[in-house]
Amino acid sequence: MRQKVAIFGGTFNPVHNGHLRLALDLVQQLGFDEMRLVPCHIPTHRADPEVASARRAQMVTLGIAGNPSLLMDDRELVRGSASYSVDTLMQLRDERGESCSLTLVMGLDAYLGLPKWHRWRELLDFAHLLVVNRPGYILPSDGELAEFDRVHRAEKNALAERSAGAVVHLNIRALDISATEIRALTAAGLSTRFLLPEPVRRFISEQQLYGARADAGPRSS
């Protein structure tokens, strides 16, 4: 049987329950053997996060502890240069061989900006794209992305039948949690309980990330 590996990249600044519940739902619904969470080292489409990539990777490791299907992949940190998805997929393809199904997970909001990505048309040479539809975002009816989508759109069974080359759209429950909100609450000394895994919440407090204050323990409990 073809192995199915998913790649879920992001700044994870910080990783939260919205990220992790989506990752687990995708594993359970689509039967991925692995879901690899890949923290971005140097993002190319947004400002550099104020928290270093090594600490963001630590938070991912803390957040996924005890979930064997979720793995933290530090290859973009080790690479040490700007984080390009095509490089990550090329490296994984070399490691896993031609028969393994690789799938890059992204939200529809990110997919709409795909033509701005580095060597974006080459992504399907190495993997499938799994686009998680999001409220408020609509795929355009014309233009280069619309044409790309029409040519490569497939049903979800393509993820098991082929090793790469399909664009699959999926409607799936998503928790309405944002890292921006978590950072703002933390800076204000307000509670982030139940928005992110407890070990991650404690790490943020202990390391005084995002403006967390050492004396803010009782207010954030």
Q: How confident is the model at residue 219 (pLDDT cuts 50, 70, 90)?
A: very low
When pLDDT is averaged across residues 176-192 and rounded to a whole number, the result is 96
Distance CA 105, CA 26 (A): 9
pLDDT tens, residue by residue, 113-163: 999 999 999 999 999 999 999 888 999 999 999 999 999 999 999 999 999
Cβ contacts of 86 within 8 Å, gap of 6 or more:
117, 118, 119, 120, 122, 123, 126
Cross-strand partners of 25: none
Determine the Cα–Cα distance for residues 148 and 104; give it in Å rounded to an integer.
16
Given a cut of 80, whether residue 212 has pLDDT beyond it is: yes
| Confidence (pLDDT) at 41 | 87
* Cα–Cα dist 177/19, whole Å: 9
Identify whether 43 is preceded by a cis peptide bond (ω within 30 of 0): no
Rg of the chain over Cα atoms, rounded to whole angstroms, equals 18
Q: How far apart are CA 219 and CA 196, in angstroms?
A: 16
* Amino acid letter for position 172: I
Mean pLDDT score, 190-200:
97
Report the distance separating Cα 86 and Cα 103, nearest Å. Answer: 12
List the strands of the sheet with 167-170, edge to edge. Answer: 70-72, 34-39, 4-10, 101-107, 128-132, 167-170
